């Protein structure tokens, strides 16, 4: 389509005697919603001033000057628009051949030039539950990871684990009190979360408990060997469990350097800020003014201790040096928008401008359960393990009801259950709050993961039944011009957008652009399949062309789902 757009633009450029810049023409060329208005349209309104004539006259005049041929079959002048009709068969053969030859690489580019992009994502807090919000973080980050990989960047995934801070005082205090009630090794995340929730509630009622927790954290900070060992133990068993979740989700991290990693790297930050004379006293605390109507960024609290922001500053310095990134992307809940605006502003005193300009915060909205806002502290939360297990269990039930074929039901249930969760999370615009409903997520109809997976499986089985064999096809003999049904053309045109969709989703840090696109592809495929006979098509040439279209659709769905982090079963 892009090729044709250029062709159309070029014909206008020539008809205008090259008096208007060709790139400007390309930008103005649109794809009309109504097919009756052609495949491309060019509005002549902006030319009225230049040529001192009415758009209607200009359009009529241009129409007579544009030569037919070379893919353009008809031009019409309508109300100041120039409507172009192009030869769909050459569009179709172009696109479908390209998808099939490029196969897994269709949609990939190398605009990233192998430069480094850091993605800081998932980043749960040890001791606190890995909740629906972190799950959203993980799937968004993972999708952005793969989107940038498709663009040819070298990605460094960092899990900035929350493994330091006052909550460790609480956890240690809670652990000492309650550890005998739990089988921690067996179920580390739930046990630690539970202990944390209990002790936190207790500390709220009893100031003495809070004091004890503070004392524990202070000892930990001062390097108490016993407590450090305990801290390491919590960290280790939690990481092991997170990894299990990451494995299921197919996401990758190159580093698990969390907040504690920066404990010995913050002095340098303080030094630099002090030397640059930007660290000022404010009610006992040390802060940096950041302007733009924002409160100052606190770097040291009045008791001299560092905070979350201090560690993030140290991380920026470290990452610029270690990874020499062109972009460092941070995924967190939208409640941290101010935090990152402040920290990124302070970063200008720490790193070169090129690094500071590469810092990007990608916030996402809240996840609610039907019952209201989930809170880490009070414990009205769904644990991620339970959620995944539930989704798998429910999928298995659905499969068992539907299916008698001998397939690996365990594996399929995991592909469907997990896929449904991921897809659901990536379907909404990232800033939108979502209300989570597992049953809705698992539906086989509607805009769900299972629906798209099912579309892919249908394509597979259709091709099998048709005896479709790619190796025996000579593309030069395929009659692509037979694909002229409206639903066929719509599907082909949509398939052509895939590379641009990847680019757009990556540049806007918005995986939902890709998710919605995959839904559109699945919907257009179903429409095509309803309207056009494939298996029972009498015309052998048309049947083959339709199989090729189906095959290409399968490639795009599979690759799109892969980028989103959703597996594609072959049967279901």
Q: Footprint of ligand ARG on this chain (CB under 6 A)?
A: 120, 123, 125, 160, 162, 312, 315, 330, 332
- Residue 242 or 330: the one with the smaller Cβ distance to ligand ARG is 330
Shortest spacing between CB 332 and ligand ARG, in angstroms: 5
| 289-298 contacts at long range (C-beta below 8 A, 24 or more positions apart) | 290/341, 290/342, 290/345, 290/346, 291/345, 292/341, 292/345, 294/338, 294/341, 294/342, 294/345, 295/338, 295/342, 296/342, 297/342, 297/343, 297/345, 297/346
Residue 424 C-beta: closest distance to ligand ARG, Å: 21
Nearest-approach distance from CB 29 to ligand ARG, in angstroms: 42
CB of 276 to ligand ARG, least distance (A): 22
Which C-beta is closer to ligand ARG: that of 80 or that of 162?
A: 162
- Measured CA to CA, the distance from residue 366 to residue 132 in angstroms comes to 9
Task: Please give the helix or strand (H or E) that residue 491 lies within, else none.
Answer: helix 486-496
In angstroms, the CA 231 to CA 209 distance is 19
Give the nearest distance from C-beta 158 to ligand ARG in angstroms: 8
Task: Considering the complex, state which of residue 382 and residue 398 has its C-beta at the smaller distance from ligand ARG.
Answer: 382
Cα–Cα distance, 166 to 127 (Å, whole number): 11
**Identity of the residue, 120 or 241, whose beta carbon is nearer to ligand ARG in the bound complex:** 120
Segment holding 72, helix H or strand E: strand 72-78
The dihedral formed by the CA atoms of 457, 459, 462 and 467, expressed in degrees to the nearest 10: -110
3-state secondary structure string across 531-572: HCCCCCCCCHHHHHHHHHHHHHHHHHHHHHHHHHCCCCCCCC
Q: How far apart are CA 547 and CA 486, in angstroms?
A: 16
Q: How far is the CB of 542 from ligand ARG (least distance, A)?
A: 54
DSSP state at residue 295? P
Question: Nearest distance from residue 494's CB to ligand ARG, in Å?
Answer: 36
Which one, 378 or 531, has the nearer CB to ligand ARG?
A: 378
What is residue 67's DSSP assignment? Answer: P
For ligand ARG, which is the closer residue by CB, 309 or 518?
309
Nearer to ligand ARG, 307 or 537 (CB): 307
**Residue 137 CB, nearest approach to ligand ARG (Å):** 8
Q: In this complex, which beta carbon is closest to ligand ARG, that of residue 100 or of residue 307?
A: 307
Length of the chain in residues, anyone? 572
d(CA 56, CA 82): 9
């Amino acid at each position: 389509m892009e090729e044709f757009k250029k062709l159309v633009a070029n014909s206008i450029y020539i008809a205008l005697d090259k008096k208007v810049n060709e790139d400007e023409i390309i930008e103005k060329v649109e794809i009309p919603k109504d097919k009756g208005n052609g495949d491309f349209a060019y509005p002549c309104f902006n030319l009225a001033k230049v040529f001192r004539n009415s758009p209607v006259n200009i359009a009529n005049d241009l129409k007579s000057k544009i030569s037919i041929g070379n893919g353009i079959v008809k031009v019409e002048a309508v109300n100041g628009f120039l409507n172009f009709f192009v030869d769909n068969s050459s569009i179709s053969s172009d696109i479908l051949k390209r998808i099939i030859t490029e196969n897994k690489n269709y949609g990939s580019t190398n605009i990233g030039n192998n430069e480094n992009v850091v993605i800081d994502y998932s980043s749960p807090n040890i001791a606190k539950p890995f909740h629906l919000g972190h799950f959203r973080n993980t799937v968004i980050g993972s999708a952005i990871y793969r989107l940038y990989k498709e663009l040819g960047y070298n990605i460094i995934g960092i899990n900035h684990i929350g493994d330091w801070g006052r909550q460790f005082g609480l956890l240690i205090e809670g652990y000492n009190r309650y550890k005998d009630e739990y089988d921690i090794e067996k179920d580390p995340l739930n046990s630690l979360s539970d202990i944390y929730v209990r002790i936190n509630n207790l500390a709220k009622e009893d100031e003495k408990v809070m004091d004890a927790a503070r004392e524990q954290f202070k000892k930990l900070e001062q390097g108490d060997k016993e407590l450090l060992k305990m801290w390491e133990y919590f960290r280790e068993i939690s990481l092991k469990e997170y990894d299990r979740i990451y494995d299921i989700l197919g996401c990758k991290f190159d580093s698990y350097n969390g907040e504690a990693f920066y404990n010995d790297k913050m002095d340098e930050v303080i030094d630099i800020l002090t030397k640059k004379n930007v660290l000022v006293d404010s009610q006992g605390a040390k802060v940096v003014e950041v302007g733009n109507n924002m409160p100052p960024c606190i770097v040291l609290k009045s008791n001299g201790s560092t905070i979350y922001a201090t560690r993030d500053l140290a991380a920026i310095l470290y990452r610029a040096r270690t990874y020499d990134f062109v972009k460092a992307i941070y995924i967190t809940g939208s409640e941290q928008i101010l935090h990152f605006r402040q920290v990124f502003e302070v970063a200008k005193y720490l790193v070169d401008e090129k690094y500071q300009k590469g810092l990007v915060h990608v916030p996402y909205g809240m996840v609610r359960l039907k019952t209201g806002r989930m809170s880490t502290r009070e414990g009205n939360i769904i644990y991620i393990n339970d959620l995944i297990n539930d989704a798998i269990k429910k999928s298995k039930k659905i499969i068992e009801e539907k299916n008698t074929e001998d397939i690996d039901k365990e594996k399929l249930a995991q592909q469907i259950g997990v896929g449904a969760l991921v897809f659901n999370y990536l379907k909404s615009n990232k800033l939108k709050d979502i209300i989570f409903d597992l049953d809705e997520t698992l539906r086989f109809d509607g805009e769900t993961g299972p629906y798209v997976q099912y579309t892919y499986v249908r394509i597979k089985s259709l091709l099998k039944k048709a005896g479709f064999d790619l190796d025996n096809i000579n593309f030069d003999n395929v009659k692509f011009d037979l694909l002229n049904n409206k639903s066929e053309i719509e599907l082909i045109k949509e398939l052509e957008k895939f590379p641009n969709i990847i680019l757009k989703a990556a540049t806007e840090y918005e995986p939902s652009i890709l998710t919605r696109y995959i839904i559109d592809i699945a919907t257009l495929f179903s429409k095509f399949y309803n309207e056009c006979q494939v298996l029972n098509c009498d015309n052998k040439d048309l049947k083959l062309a339709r199989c090729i279209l189906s095959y290409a659709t399968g490639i795009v769905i599979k690759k799109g789902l892969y980028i989103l982090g959703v597996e594609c079963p072959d049967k279901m």
